[in-house]
């Protein structure tokens, strides 16, 4: 990676991370994902970050639309998928 390489939506992702950290600072650990979902909705509104909660996303395999769908906790800026995990530590299956 060169010095001039940059993260796509870098500033926007920085704002999203800031909102997430604000919720964590305020609420701490130990709640169910649904609590963090509601807090994040309020924080994204406060920060004017466009979002859709519980967004159903159509999937395709080799160009064919699947019956199965994926429900993201949040779709932000019409491009960023955010999945909330309220766990003690991140497991490999969470990284997908």
Q: What is the pLDDT of residues 57-90, one digit of tens each?
A: 999 999 999 999 999 999 999 999 999 988 777 7
Q: How many structural domains compose the chain? A: 1
Q: Within 10 A of 16 (CB to CB), how many other CB atoms are there?
A: 22
Distance CA 64, CA 43 (A): 37
End-to-end CA distance of the chain: 23
**93: helix, coil or strand?**
helix
Residue 1 lies in a domain: no
Q: Which domain holds residue 63?
A: 10-87
Residue 81 lies in a domain: yes
Distance CA 76, CA 80 (A): 5
Top-confidence residue, 6 or 23:
23
Q: What is the helix (H) or strand (E) element at residue 72, kind and residue range?
A: strand 64-76
């Amino acid at each position: 990676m060169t010095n001039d390489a940059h993260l796509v939506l870098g500033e926007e992702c920085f704002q999203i991370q800031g909102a997430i950290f604000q919720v964590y600072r305020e609420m701490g650990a130990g709640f169910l994902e649904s609590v963090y979902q509601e807090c994040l909705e309020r924080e994204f509104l406060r920060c004017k970050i466009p979002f859709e909660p519980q967004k159903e996303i159509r999937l395709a395999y080799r160009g064919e639309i699947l019956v199965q769908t994926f429900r993201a906790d949040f779709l932000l800026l019409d491009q960023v998928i955010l999945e909330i995990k309220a766990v003690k530590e991140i497991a490999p299956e969470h990284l997908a």
